[in-house]
Amino acid sequence: MKKTALLLLAFFTILNAVAQEQEKRKPKIGLVLSGGGAKGFAHIGVLKVLEQAGVKIDYIGGTSMGAVVGGLYASGYNAQQIDSIFRSTNFDALLSDYVPRSSKTFYEKRNDEMYAFSLPLKKMRIGIPTSLSKGLYNYNLLNRLTYNVRHVRDFNQLPIPFLCMATDIETGEEVLLNKGYLAQAMLASGAFPTLFSPIEIDGRLLVDGGVTNNFPVDEIKKLGADIIIGVDVQDDLKDRKSLKDATKILVQISNLQMIEKMKEKLKQTDIYIKPYITDYSVISFDEGAEIVKKGEEAAFAMYEKIKVLGDSTRVAPKHPYDSNADSLKIKSIAINPLKNYTRSYVVGKLRFKQNSNITYHDVKIGMDNITATQNFSTINYTLEKNNDKDDLIINLTENPTKTFVKFALHYDGLYKSSILLNATKKKTFFRNDVTSLDVILGDNLRYNLDYYVDNGFYWSFGVRSKFNKFNRNVFTDFSDGALFSQLGIRSINIDFEDLTNQAYCQTIFIQKFLIGGGIEHKFLSIRSKTVDNSTPYFEKSNYGSIFGYVKYDALDNKYFPKNGWYFFGDYQSYLYSSDYTNQFNQFSIAKGDIGFAQTLFNKTTLKVQSEMGFTIGEESVHFFDFILGGYGFAPINNFKPFYGYDFVSLNGDSYIKSSITIDYEIFKKNHINLSANYANIENHLFDTTKWFSQVSYTGYALGYGIESILGPAEFKYSWSPELGKGFAWFSVGFWF
């Protein structure tokens, strides 16, 4: 019996040795994936066919998009998983380095939602940004996707040995990346000049490897590959008729030398796959599914050669990564020394501390918060193994530019045409301060001056000054309607001017709500040419007041929100007036506004909003009454938009208003919407139950809106059943 067992053991030992020897004799297959931007989606289609044929890849080398696809495959994903990843990726957000609105402070939200263009100013000379994107959105994504191999520093130790190529932008040398931090290497290889910022690795400033080596076949052969399968998605040279935009010209420049190099590289490629994707560009991300299909078609054309290398019984591996299992235990947080910002400032933006259990989503939010400050030109981080935990290593490069000029355009029916010129200066007096001056030219000269010191979760403070003016025929006389009765008119022409100066302090409450308060000086002038000789109807007074407020804003978009909710509450007490009209008594105004947005289905969003306001005191100043009517303008004082009524149509010292909007995004960034609003507004509205029992004013609107580079462009036609007529409004640009 023992002899039999020994014979069986010897037999199986010999079989295993033979199998191992056969495995060693199998030719090693190397896969080379070229760069090509969105055209690199074709690599996924090729991988699908290789897996179908049972081909086992032993080495992978890639450049640019080839590095991204190849790096994910090397880390353990199969072709179908990579396809799913790319289909679910928001490439608009990736290219623009999208920072969610929730990561921005209230001050940052305001600034980002006013200006169409921002340019650095150095030594009184306007510059241009080094790139359109820092690449942080992409880096966060790659970090999360390579979670399971985050501690691997030798790419030969990945499930499939991997390398990628980059270019040293200072020397012009090609750089082989086969060690280090995988996500960082993939990002550097795909850092297309002017589109993404260069990536610093080991003291070298790296950009897209396609500039110097877009097809690393030599490098893969050196790893030990016997057979090379190469997928080439780079463009052929185009004629002058095809070079119609900057992107195509940049790609052409990059391809000039690569086309010649490819002639020699082709000789080393055993199976050369060239998908027919000439109709697509490097930024055709919206057509990714079609490009994947083109990759499959090209691979199937070579299927007879491919299947010889495969094993039909082989099953494609499935990546072990579970999107629900990306928890991180952060042992420590290390931040490189900074000149102008403290460690506590950076950690405060992260919103998590050392020795905490977090997820990649928490890391992303923290990095987005740092990005939103615009105080850092580059943001990089790695996760280093520390026993069973991770050390978060953050490297920040302070933005050397402290001064910016910004521009915007706007038109609406109230302020008419406007051009906004802005100058913003950081570090005017303190580390964390910002000074901003808006000068608004056009039909009505206006300005906004802001100075703000941001101390994060500690008390911050600021001062602001703003001047607004407009001229318009209006349907309220700011005087209980007495003027209209005396003169027998329905409207008057007014010159409205408002100068407001504030000093305030504010802080974050329970990490969500902004609370603050301050003092205010206001000069208000309302002059009517219709009653030029009637001084009782001419306002020219200074007012002094104190105010307090609470804010919460989690909408994902100010103008076309799809999700989130907001709340705003304000209380202001007027204590002093120069009292030009001799009618002033101390009074207060309380108001609140709450709303939410929720995407229901098929790009259809419901937005619901409700607001109210009232005065407290024996008699208020009618010039501070709530005024309803119009749409598309930046609210001032207590002026509120209201569908169905023209600008400055309804007034009273108290009001309640509700609105509902159904918005449908018919195609990308194009919206049609249907709105309805209802309101009660009059003096002493809440003294009775009338405000609750019946609605006095209603209005409806049908609109079309576009999210443009200048801001929202909207056309609305509104109608009110009480008036029996409609109004058409057009506005374009961010509201200011």
What percent of the chain has pLDDT above 90? Answer: 62
Closest CA to 335 of 323, 314, 322, 349: 349
249/231 Cα distance (integer angstroms): 23
Average pLDDT (212-219) is 94
pLDDT band at 559 (very low <50, low <70, confident <90, very high): very high
Q: How is the beta sheet containing 626-628 ordered, strand by strand?
A: 639-640, 626-628, 650-652
pLDDT band at 690 (very low <50, low <70, confident <90, very high): confident
Closest CA to 330 of 382, 292, 373, 374: 382
Which residue is listed with tokens 């051009």?
419
| pLDDT surpasses 80 at 80 | yes
Question: Poorest-confidence range of 5-14, 19-28, 168-177, 400-409?
Answer: 5-14
Tokens of 416: 């008419």
Which residue is listed with tokens 């911050």?
460
| pLDDT surpasses 80 at 259 | no
Q: pLDDT value at position 111?
A: 78
| pLDDT surpasses 50 at 399 | yes
Burial letters 699-710, b for 16+ CB under 10 A, else e = bbbebebebeeb
Q: pLDDT value at position 317?
A: 64
Q: pLDDT value at position 324?
A: 46
Average pLDDT (567-574) is 97
Closest CA to 52 of 263, 333, 316: 316
Q: pLDDT value at position 716?
A: 97
Tokens of 119: 């340019």
| pLDDT surpasses 90 at 283 | no
Closest CA to 624 of 632, 610, 636: 636
Mean pLDDT of the chain: 88
Average pLDDT (528-545) is 74
| pLDDT surpasses 60 at 483 | no
Question: Poorest-confidence range of 343-347, 363-367, 637-641?
Answer: 343-347
| pLDDT surpasses 90 at 670 | yes
Average pLDDT (299-326) is 75
Give 115's contacts (C-beta < 8 A, 6+ positions apart). Answer: 406, 407, 408, 420, 422, 734
- What long-range pairs does 339-343 form, CB within 8 A, spacing at least 24? 339/398, 340/375, 340/398, 340/427, 340/431, 341/375, 341/396, 341/398, 341/431, 341/432, 342/431
Average pLDDT (712-717) is 96
Average pLDDT (538-555) is 93
641/635 Cα distance (integer angstroms): 8
CA dihedral 577, 581, 586, 589 (to 10 degrees): -90
- Pairing mode, strands 650-652 and 639-640: unpaired
Average pLDDT (70-74) is 97
DSSP letter assigned to residue 195: T
Under 8 Å between Cβ of 431 and 452: no
Measured in degrees and rounded to the nearest 5, phi and psi for residue 438 equal -100, 130
533/350 Cα distance (integer angstroms): 61
CA atoms lying within 13 Å on the CB side of residue 728: 2
Tokens of 343: 């460690």
Residue 509 exposed, middle or buried by CB count within 10 Å (0-12, 13-18, 19+): middle
Identify any residues that bridge with 62 across adjacent strands, giving them in sequence order: 33, 164
Q: pLDDT value at position 323?
A: 47
pLDDT band at 620 (very low <50, low <70, confident <90, very high): confident
Host H or E run for residue 468: strand 460-474
Give 194's contacts (C-beta < 8 A, 6+ positions apart). Answer: 130, 131, 132, 250
pLDDT band at 694 (very low <50, low <70, confident <90, very high): confident
Host H or E run for residue 571: strand 563-577
| pLDDT surpasses 80 at 2 | no
Under 8 Å between Cβ of 679 and 695: yes
Q: Degrees (nearest 5) of the Cα angle 366, 369, 374?
A: 135
Measured in degrees and rounded to the nearest 5, phi and psi for residue 422 equal -125, 145
Rg (CA), the chain: 32
570/517 Cα distance (integer angstroms): 9
Closest CA to 335 of 384, 389, 390, 381: 381
Residue 270 exposed, middle or buried by CB count within 10 Å (0-12, 13-18, 19+): middle
Q: pLDDT value at position 484?
A: 57
- Pairing mode, strands 539-553 and 563-577: antiparallel
Average pLDDT (177-186) is 97
pLDDT band at 18 (very low <50, low <70, confident <90, very high): very low
pLDDT band at 15 (very low <50, low <70, confident <90, very high): low
363/112 Cα distance (integer angstroms): 23
